[in-house]
Amino acid sequence: MTETAEKTITAKTPWEPYMGDVPMHLDYFEGSMFDGVARTAEQYPQYVAFDFMGKSTTYKELVQNIELCARSLKTLGVRAGDRVTIAMPNCPQAIYMFYAVNRVGAIASMIHPLSAEKEIENYLNFSHSVTAITLDQFYHKFEHVRQNTKVVNIIIASIKDALSRPVRAGYMLTEGRKIQKIPADAPVIRWKEFMRLGHACSWNYKVPRAGDDPAVILYSGGTTGTSKGIVLTNKNFNALGAQIVATNPMFRPGDRMLAAMPLFHGFGLGVCIHSMLFNGGRCILVPRFTPQSYAKLITKYKCNFIAGVPTLYEALLRLPKLEKADYSSLKGVFSGGDSLSVELKKKFDKFLYDHKAVIQVREGYGTTETVTACCLTPTHIYKEGSIGIPFPDTYIKIVKPGTEEELPYGEEGEILLAGPTVMKEYMDNPEETAQTLRRHADGLTWVYTGDLGTQDEQGFIYFRGRAKRMIISSGYNIYPAQLENIIDAHPKVLMSCVIGVPDAYKMQKVKAFVMLRPSIPQDEATKRELMDYCKKHIAKYAMPADIEFRDELPKTLVGKVAYRKLEEEELAKQK
């Protein structure tokens, strides 16, 4: 990068005028993610790394379990560069496995445990996974598709195995009774059996990994209807851990983060888990989110940090019986994954004030291509409608969409990102990688986000919308083209169009418009058949809330389905 370019870019990363103790540039740890956590464990061995349903695990115990898990993976034959699929909620076994995969030099492919069977099959094949881990309650989905994949080993964990004895008894009387039994002769490895395998291996399991080595695959739907595997490196995650603490100088080792955002999501994995464990924080693991449990855990553990999507904060506002809740322990409340409306921010800021908190919600912005957040509102400066300013060493510029032509302050264009958290590539997709990652004359590699926004003269960014078709429901990114591909494959469907419609709780919910083949009745029986079909092929969070039959779908001048026309019709209905 030229000296001139560096001066120009640095002027647009203005943390110093607003928070003098945030450095402009940071030193980044060049080892693996595991190495970073192990380094922290050496400093704070007796600090609690995470709590799970009342049971605490120290950093010393965390590293011991990761090492044993890594030896078990080696015993199973997992080698450097192999892909291991992790389809787990936020629970101890998922944490151990994530870092153990890193320890043996393999790559963790993180997927939603509630994914439909066909999606699971696609993810397993797409990542070329040789081993997978999931919970007992999801075993049958994996078993149904296993023969269509190259997976050799399926490890089955259970929530009860991570619980203290008294809590386990209560769990088995309630949630445990609902889980479908796994046959005794099922070709799987139970968690306890898996961990015992580690005692057979005590050498040659540690594979050194550098910062630029690939470590994690997260998934993002493509606008063409095909999923994209985002390959992220050790340095991507370690840099995020450094940036999160630098932009939150009030953080202290031992501070508690309520980790409710899921592990398969960059926000949950990057901010709520790795950034905390990398810096000596304490994660309160939430395996299944409900507003009631979330609100209870904030007060029970006197949480210092919470992070979530706007839907989460909307849900908290709707809860009764929170009048006496004391949130004075909070140091940081972060919102991301979707735009936080000005009105919702005002309401939640008042909610925090009414419950003794002395802080306000800080909105951030990012993409999975940069792990997660790369931009955050400072603690003491808030500009209405802004998503904040870039992290240290992270640069944002607004260009004429698809070009390198930088636009003046205040003019809307495409948001481009550059910095140490930028992904390595889209897996096995060089064309899409070349479209998204482009090196400019300033020497930086920029992510073309497809998002639209503006930047003001102080460097604050304003998100204006998405150039790409995408629905955001409860913080989950849902890609209409993917759902349309699935629905169109049904033998009774001629064509479909999927849109997001406004929803008071989820922000958006999914609605499908369907043209049926000639002579197929547009009745409830057909709708039920399509809904049942969708349940088998579409993840629960992306399921259509409604299917509406149409004789014709509106078209654009070039013959494409005019999805914006359908969106306008739905908006008009709600007025």
Residue 18: what pLDDT?
58
Strands 395-399, 389-390: pairing kind: unpaired
Structure confidence at residue 562 as a pLDDT band (50, 70, 90): confident
pLDDT grade, residue 166 (50/70/90)?
confident
Write phi, then psi, for 570 (nearest 5 degrees): -65, -40
| Other C-beta atoms lying within 10 Å of the C-beta of residue 495 | 16
Stretch 258-263: mean pLDDT: 92
Check: CB of residue 186 under 8 Å from CB of residue 139: yes
Encode burial over 94-103: b for 16+ CB neighbours within 10 A, e otherwise: bbbbbbbbbb
pTM of the model: 0.84
Looking at residue 562, its amino acid is: A
Q: Which two tokens stand for residue 221?
A: 């739907």
pLDDT above 70 coverage of the chain, percent? 92
Per CATH, the homologous superfamily of domain 471-574 is: ANL, C-terminal domain (3.30.300.30)
pLDDT digits (tens, 9 = 90+) for 393-443: 999 999 998 999 999 999 989 999 999 999 999 999 999 999 999 999 999
302 Ramachandran zone, left/alpha/beta (phi>0; psi -120 to 50)? left
- pLDDT-derived band at 473 (thresholds 50, 70, 90) equals confident
Per-residue pLDDT at 226:
63
pLDDT of residue 556: 60
pLDDT at residue 107, as a whole number? 98
- Encoded tokens for 556: 């654009």
Instruction: Give dist(CA 64, CA 420) in Å, integer.
Output: 30
Q: How far is CA 92 from CA 45, 167, 218, 257, 293, in A?
A: 17, 15, 20, 15, 18
Q: Is a pLDDT exceeding 90 seen at residue 511?
A: yes
Beta-bridged to residue 20, according to DSSP, are none
Say how many CA atoms lie within 13 Å of 192 toward its Cβ.
5
Q: Enter the DSSP assignment of 477.
A: E
| E strand or H helix at 361 | strand 361-366
The predicted-structure confidence for 52-90, as pLDDT tens digits, reads as follows 999 999 999 999 999 999 999 999 999 999 999 999 999
Q: Going by C-beta distance under 8 Å and a sequence separation of 6 or more, which residues neighbour residue 270?
A: 237, 240, 371, 372, 373
- The answer on pLDDT for 158 being more than 50 is yes
Q: What is the pLDDT of residue 176?
A: 67
Containing H/E element for 57? strand 55-58
Alpha-carbon torsion 372, 374, 380, 386, what sign?
A: negative
Question: Which pLDDT score, from 0 to 100, does residue 433 have?
Answer: 96
Mean pLDDT of all residues belonging to the chain: 89
| 57, 94 Cβ separation under 8 angstroms | no
Q: Where do we find the tokens 């999606």?
A: 119
Say what the pLDDT of residue 339 is. 72
**Helices 342-354, 310-318: inter-axial angle, 10-degree rounding:** 50
What integer pLDDT is reported at residue 223 of this predicted model? 42
Buried b (16+ CB within 10 A) or exposed e, 56-72: ebbbebbbebbbbbbbb
pLDDT computed for residue 467 by the predictor? 64
Query: What pLDDT does 4 receive?
Result: 35
Residue 309 confidence class, pLDDT cut points 50, 70, 90: confident
Do the domains spanning 10-18+23-435 and 471-574 agree at the CATH topology level?
no
So what's the pLDDT on residue 17?
Answer: 59
Hey, which bits of 72-170 come out as E strands? 83-87, 107-110, 129-135, 153-157
Distance CA 293, CA 322 (A): 12
**Residue position matching structure tokens 């399921």:** 543
Query: Would you state the pLDDT for residue 15?
Result: 61
User: How many Cβ atoms from other residues are within 10 Å of residue 27's Cβ?
Assistant: 7
Q: What is the pLDDT of residue 19?
A: 58
pLDDT tens digits, 313-356 = 878 887 877 778 899 999 999 998 777 778 788 889 999 999 99
pLDDT at 9 over 50: no
Token pair belonging to 449? 């986000």
pLDDT on residue 563 = 84
* Confidence (pLDDT) at 11: 35
* % of the chain with per-residue pLDDT over 90: 65
Q: Is the separation of the CB atoms in 262 and 309 below 8 Å? A: no
Report residue 224: phi and psi, to 5°. -90, 0
Q: What is the band of 449 on the pLDDT scale with cuts at 50, 70, 90?
A: very high
Residue 221: band (very low, low, confident or very high) from pLDDT cuts 50, 70, 90: low
pLDDT value of residue 33: 98
From CA 50, how far away is CA 59, in angstroms rounded?
A: 8
Res 248 pLDDT > 70: yes
* pLDDT at res. 16: 59
Give me the residue spans of the domains in the chain. 10-18+23-435, 471-574
8 Å CB contact between 311 and 338: yes
Which pLDDT does position 343 carry in this prediction? 78
Q: What is the pLDDT of residue 6?
A: 38
User: Euclidean distance between the first and final Cα of the chain, in Å?
Assistant: 52
Domain 10-18+23-435 has CATH 3.40.50.12780: yes
In this prediction, residue 237 has a pLDDT band, given cuts at 50, 70 and 90, of very high
Pair 452, 415: CB distance under 8 Å? yes
Q: Are strands 361-366 and 373-376 parallel, antiparallel or unpaired?
A: antiparallel
